[in-house]
A and B are shown apart, each in its own frame.
Chain A
Amino acid sequence: MSNDFIIIGSGHNGLACAGYLAKAGARVLVLERDNRVGGSCHTAEATLPGFRHNICSMVHTNIPLSPVYRDLELERNGVRYVYPDHLRGTIFPDGRCLVMYRDPAQMAAEIARFSARDARTFTQLVEDYGEFIDSTYLPLMYSPPLPPSLQTAELEKSDEGRALMQWQASTPVQLLDELFENEQVKVHFLARMTVLGFPPDAFGQGWICLFRILKAEAPICVGGSQQLAEGLRRVVEGAGGLVKTGAGVKRILVRDNRAFGVELGDGTRFEAAKAVITNVEPKKSFLQMVGEEHLPPAFATRVRNYHSRGRSLFCLHLAVSEPPQYRAGADNPHVNRAFSQEMFCGTVADQVQAYQEIAAGKPPRREMLQITLPTLFDPSQAPPGKHTVLVWQYAPYALAQEGPQGWKSVRDEYAAHCLELWRSYAPNMTKHKILAMTIQDPTDTVRHNDNMVDGVDVVGDMTPDQMGYFRPFAGWSSYRSPVEGLYMCGGYCHPGGGVHAGAGHNAAGVIAEDFKLKKWWQ
């Protein structure tokens, strides 16, 4: 069978793109190197039988509200979500906690326990910017990025818009200092950035910080993150597409500056009548699979300079016999039923310093911990009465002296240290409550999915120079590439990493336009 489109990589963006194109009537072939689909939507029995752990992606914040979920009828294809009682709980070393609620009034009341003024500020922010963010963020995610000039044209017409532009230019810490007075409130909101890998002291991210203050959700995929990928696969195959696993692409075939197919590691070739679409991170896609000889030099330079220097994750997958009970539950019992518990130091300065240590290649000794128990809300992921725990400690990929290989010698001690840090907040998590543990250091994350270059779980840094109109490269944020018939659809494209399928959706739209396919979803 001949193919119109070949998609390299069955991560959720590749499958989403394939689903749209297959349902548009195109002949689609998805090639996956691994023996399973899903990329970082990966659920596996990493500790004991029956304990299903999410190896990378844990929460699919935007999927249930996305056009992808609706257009591809993912619920009908077996992809369901459950919602935790509460969103997040930031726990402070003094035993207090700040729980993040969906309801703005409840959230303001929670903030008021720390500062009445900050509660009023939060309420005012919701009133002033809530609708703006709500009206713009999903459309901006699920459409190609806007040129900066277009984004600023409206804002610069008013005082309020100009203030927003200045906030955007500031650092998260600067913005929080401007908005709030209470240190713990600031730590809580700064953590909203930290969990996404945004450095707290980086300029040009104030707006994102505002967005993170006002917008949150935590849907958990029933059965584990892998189920999203399985549902997407059913969409592709249901529309006549073909998904081949165990088929690693070695080369993208290019002739006369046109991609016409791919070659697998075993020499098998597949041709694409219309286009090849790569979901593989840009350095492998362009420098290895295409080859620099087929690229304009300026573009090749851009690819080489694409960076992944941000924080990585040191993960512990635990099988436990009971859920943690946090000391902070005495302050607010809802913290025990939040999607995650986050322990990111007691002050903004400490959090910034921890981030700077990470940037210097030093695994922080203080807590930079995020804990999630999906089984509190989806019991199907563990045997009855038991739970899985994912412990994330924010950490560098490469250690200062030894580089990435240094993790081999420190990982056991560091895992024990992280558990001790956690126990200081959740004392019931004694050794005999932990039935089994698997360590996943940053180098393991790359082994699981080498799109996570240098352990950066958002497929390249989400910094102002690699976001929006500049992702992955200035001039090439339209999902097209300088090679005709070669498109990009991965998390290295706008709107970036994370499981939301925005890049796959947007790429499909551009490709449908270029090849005059019916955009049936509009």
Chain B
Amino acid sequence: MPQREARFTVNAQPPELWKFIRDMESLCTCIPGVEKIVLLDGRSADLTVKEKVGVIPMVLTLRASIDSEDPPRRLHATARAEHLTMNIDVSLEKAANGTELRALFDVTGTGQLKPIVDRLFEKRATERAAQFADSLQKRFGAVPPARAAAQAPAGSLSRFWRRLLEWFTPRRN
């Protein structure tokens, strides 16, 4: 089961960031590749995510649900598709000039496509993580790089978000 951790800081106070990530529709505007979202209730939604592998589009239908939360600090969510399950733990912590977001992801490819799902996550992680962080920073304002670097040790971003988010964003072809 690939486990990945991401940590980065955005220029917003915890309640503001919490409000954003807790609203699935707004959060999905920052997740690359989400084409459609259907809210089922306040805690769950169906997402249609398109990821292109070369010119071949792969379409995933995920059911995401928030299993538990401790506003505005912690959230546990699960996203399930036909060939993968993701467990997501998110925590927000006030930083010197903004909020540090930490996320721990357990990604499990399931069934017969597991090897391919795992491989795709592996290959796309870095690019997609950067896109997600970029989206959030554009929305809330960037934290100066030096301070962000101090708060986010080298490589910490790469682990989880990279793996998850690469999957969700189409390449520019």
List residues of A whose CB falls within 8 A of some B CB.
Answer: 127-136, 138-140, 142-144, 146-147, 150, 154-155, 157-158, 160-161, 164
Are A131 and B116 in contact, with the CB atoms below 8 A?
no
| Cβ 8 A contact of A136, one of B57, B119, B171 | B119
Are B119 and A132 in contact, with the CB atoms below 8 A?
no
Give every chain B residue within 8 A of A154 (Cβ-Cβ): 56, 58-59
Chain A residues touching B, majority SS: helix
Are B54 and A132 in contact, with the CB atoms below 8 A?
yes
Are A127 and B115 in contact, with the CB atoms below 8 A?
no
| Cβ 8 A contact of B115, one of A130, A139, A160, A161 | A139
Are A158 and B56 in contact, with the CB atoms below 8 A?
yes
Give every chain A residue within 8 A of B113 (Cβ-Cβ): 146, 150
**From B115, which residue of chain A is reached at the shortest CB distance?**
A139
Give every chain B residue within 8 A of A127 (Cβ-Cβ): 54, 173
A-B CB proximity, top 10 nearest: A139-B115, A132-B54, A128-B55, A160-B55, A143-B115, A132-B53, A139-B116, A131-B54, A158-B57, A139-B119
**From A153, which residue of chain B is reached at the shortest CB distance?**
B82
Give every chain B residue within 8 A of A155 (Cβ-Cβ): 56
**From A146, which residue of chain B is reached at the shortest CB distance?**
B112
CB distance from B53 to the nearest CB of A (A): 5
- Within the assembled complex, what's the spacing in Å between the Cα atoms of A133 and B171? 16
A134, A154, A161 — which one has the most chain B CB atoms within 10 A of its CB? A154
Task: Name 26 interchain pairs, CB-CB below 8 A, sorted by A.
Answer: A127-B173, A129-B54, A129-B55, A130-B54, A131-B53, A131-B123, A132-B56, A134-B123, A135-B53, A135-B120, A135-B123, A136-B119, A139-B116, A140-B115, A140-B116, A143-B114, A143-B115, A146-B113, A150-B112, A150-B113, A154-B58, A154-B59, A157-B57, A161-B56, A161-B57, A164-B56
B-side interface size class: 10 to 19
- Within the assembled complex, what's the spacing in Å between the Cα atoms of A265 and B123? 51
Give every chain B residue within 8 A of A131 (Cβ-Cβ): 53-54, 123, 171
B56, B112, B118, B119 — which one has the most chain A CB atoms within 10 A of its CB? B56
B57, B58, B115 — which one has the most chain A CB atoms within 10 A of its CB? B115
- Within the assembled complex, what's the spacing in Å between the Cα atoms of A386 and B114? 48
Q: Give me 7 other A-B pairs in contact (C-beta within 8 A), A127-B54, A158-B57 excluded.
A: A127-B173, A129-B54, A132-B55, A135-B116, A139-B115, A161-B57, A164-B56
Give every chain B residue within 8 A of A132 (Cβ-Cβ): 53-56
Would you list which residues of chain B between 113 and 136 have a CB under 8 Å from chain A?
Answer: 113-116, 118-120, 123
Would you list which residues of chain B between 151 and 171 have a CB under 8 Å from chain A?
Answer: 171
